[in-house]
Chains A and B, each alone.
Chain A
């Protein structure tokens, strides 16, 4: 092959690549093919490997490695007795809570059903550079894009990419993950953003004149309808006064990600009224910075959706959530929730769409819902 032909071939291939890249950026068809075929085929391999691994480790643990089983049995019996006591205690508290709700005419929040899933792998593949894990459920059985993942310790992340029966979830430690939270004791709203694995989480948008204590638990606020209210996210480890008007807060995740083997997928009861394609990943350019006097270009509404009706429903649900108790039972966030817990600034923003820079950026990054019109943002 002559040099001239080779150059022509390379240029042709490059143009072809650009064409396919642009086509995929507009339609997402290649990505969908990859998720539906590539991810599924890979998961077949992982399922087979997991099955063999489980069989061998089960045989080893059950029939061969029986050291300390008797001592462990005694400890477990004692733990069961303690847990029975706790259940009895919390059962009474739960009944009391139900009675109080009825008395106060609180609506019960829509329940988030949970589905269990197995973790297959971490950062599978050479093309995976986000903090992610592969789970054994896909969009056909409970792991649609944006479905939250939890463990008994707290929040893990959200589904980022879903095949029919396998999905990839983005961990909350990824820098592209942003979550709207409250502090559990002082009810201070904030955004938690990942900073990478083995790094503390960044807690942003906390004004200097509020109180946040070291050791406080951060819980999901639920204002974005993407997470149920009250899931523990992290524990505050440091609070410093920054150069700007905000506190510099670091938090540690409650979940030990290296040891996660199973997760629960929470099924969003608001899914039908939420616009489709709610982004899970917050791109770098939009991180908490909205320039003054800049018109935000936001996607046009989907033609098949009645957005006016949808936004009304979201507004109503927001108000429900803002005034409803925590749905995660046994969580500290259940206590003492009433209308006063919601900062007036945020409540106003939800109810009247007042262009407030702090609240707006909080909501844009936490909710990440495509709004139906252009929004003029200005600092006054």
Chain B
């Protein structure tokens, strides 16, 4: 059911971009990226990650680098967490959300300094908190709606 899989990713991306236009400073694509990591399909991972990176880099006002580094850190944290937790568990996702939000805060402050941009750190902190709070919830919905499709991908 490749068509069903493509349609799911298309719908997910469409909804995520729409939500991003209403909620500033939160990455709605990252829960889908975690789903990608959990599904362990290399081909799907490369395609979808490439699209996500171009979309987020294009929508943002910072120069290249911060999104790629954050998504890379998501991969690193996921691999690290896999040794200690069951990756499908909610506890793992909660901890991953907090760790990813903290990483994002650090990366954005670093890149704002590198690119000589003004950045409102208290607002960035708020955005990171929103991200940490929303991510488990969004991952749960994404994971739930992909149950049938995930089986097909794994097979």
Q: A residues touching B (Cβ–Cβ < 8 Å)?
A: 6, 10, 13, 17, 20-21, 24-25, 30-31, 33-42, 45-46, 48-49, 120-130, 132, 134, 160-161, 163, 168, 170, 174-176, 196, 281, 283-285
- Contact between A10 and B59, CB atoms less than 8 A apart: no
Complex contact B117–A284 (CB within 8 A): yes
Shortest CB-to-CB span from A235 to chain B, Å, is: 23
Q: From A194, which residue of chain B is reached at the shortest CB distance?
A: B118
Query: Which of these, B18, B116, B131, contacts A49 with CB under 8 Å?
Result: B18
Interface size class of B (residues with CB under 8 A): 35 or more
* Chain A residues closer than 8 Å to B81, beta-carbon distance: none
Contacts of A123 in B (CB 8 A): 24-25
- What residues of A have a CB within 8 angstroms of the CB of B54 in the complex? 33-34, 37-38, 41
Q: Which of B18, B24, B104, B124 sits near A122, CB closer than 8 Å?
A: B24
A367 to B68, CA, bound (A): 34
Which residue from A24, A40, A126 sits with its C-beta under 8 Å from B25? A126
Question: Which residue of chain B is the closest to A281 with respect to CB atoms?
Answer: B117
Contacts A45-B14, A126-B25, A126-B56 given: A21-B117 contact, CB under 8 Å? no
B29-61 at interface with A (beta carbon < 8 Å) = 30, 54-61
The chain B residue with its CB closest to the CB of A50 is B21
A127 touches B67 (CB 8 A): yes
A124-B21, A284-B117, A285-B116 given; A38·B61 CB < 8 A: no
Asked if B148 is at the interface of the complex by the 8 Å CB criterion, the answer is no
Whether B61 and A175, one on each chain, are in contact in the complex, defined by CB atoms closer than 8 angstroms, is: no
- Chain B contact residues, CB within 8 Å of chain A: 13-14, 17-18, 20-22, 24-28, 30, 54-69, 72, 76, 79, 104, 108, 112, 116-120, 123-124, 127, 131
Closest CB-CB distance, A12 to chain B, in whole Å? 12
Chain A residues whose CB sits within 8 angstroms of the CB of B56 once the complex forms? 38, 125-127
A-B pairs with beta carbons under 8 Å apart, 16 shown: A17-B68, A17-B69, A20-B65, A20-B68, A24-B65, A37-B58, A39-B59, A124-B21, A124-B24, A127-B59, A127-B60, A127-B66, A128-B24, A129-B61, A130-B118, A161-B61
- Cα A82 to Cα B70 in complex, Å, equals 57
Q: Is the interface of B mostly helix, strand, loop or mixed?
A: helix
Q: In the assembled complex, which residues on chain B have CB atoms less than 8 Å from the CB atom of A35? A: 58
Contact B21 A38 (CB under 8 A): no
Contacting pair A20 B64 (CB below 8 A) = yes
The residue among A6, A122, A124 with the most chain B CB atoms within 10 A of its own CB is A124
Residues of chain B within 8 A of A41, CB atoms compared: 54-55, 58
A134: B residues at CB distance < 8 A: 21, 59
User: Are the CB atoms of B108 and A129 closer together than 8 Å?
Assistant: yes
Closest-CB distance, A280 to chain B (whole angstroms): 10
Q: Is the CB of A163 within 8 A of B58?
A: yes
Contact B17 A42 (CB under 8 A): yes
Name the contact of B59 in the complex, choosing from A38, A49, A160, A196 (C-beta under 8 A): A38
Given contacts A38-B55, A42-B55, contact A129 B64 (CB under 8 A): no
Q: Which of A24, A40, A285 contacts B63 (CB 8 A)?
A: A24
In the docked arrangement, what's the CA distance between A40 and B57, Å? 12
Q: How far is the CB of B101 from chain A (nearest CB, A)?
A: 11
Chain A residue contacts of B116, Cβ below 8 A? 283-285
Q: Given A30-B57, A37-B58, A129-B25, 13 other A-B contacts at CB below 8 A?
A: A31-B64, A34-B60, A39-B59, A40-B58, A123-B24, A124-B20, A126-B25, A126-B56, A127-B56, A127-B66, A129-B61, A129-B124, A163-B58
Within the complex, the shortest CB–CB distance from A28 to chain B, in Å, comes to 8
Which A residue's beta carbon lies closest to that of B76?
A10
Contact A34-B124, Cβ < 8 Å, known A124-B21, A284-B118 = no
B64 and A46 within 8 A (CB): no
Please, how many angstroms separate the alpha-carbon atoms of A120 and B124 in the complex?
A: 22
**Nearest chain-B residue to A35 (Cβ)?**
B58
A-B pairs, top 8 by smallest CB distance, nearest first, are A38-B58, A127-B60, A125-B59, A126-B27, A34-B57, A283-B116, A121-B21, A175-B118
Q: How far is the CB of B25 from chain A (nearest CB, A)?
A: 6
What residues of chain A lie closer than 8 Å to B21, measured between beta carbons? 46, 49, 120-122, 124, 134
- Residues from chain B with a CB closer than 8 A to the CB of A125 are 20, 27, 56, 59-60
Contact flag A31-B20 (CB < 8 Å), given A41-B55, A284-B118: no
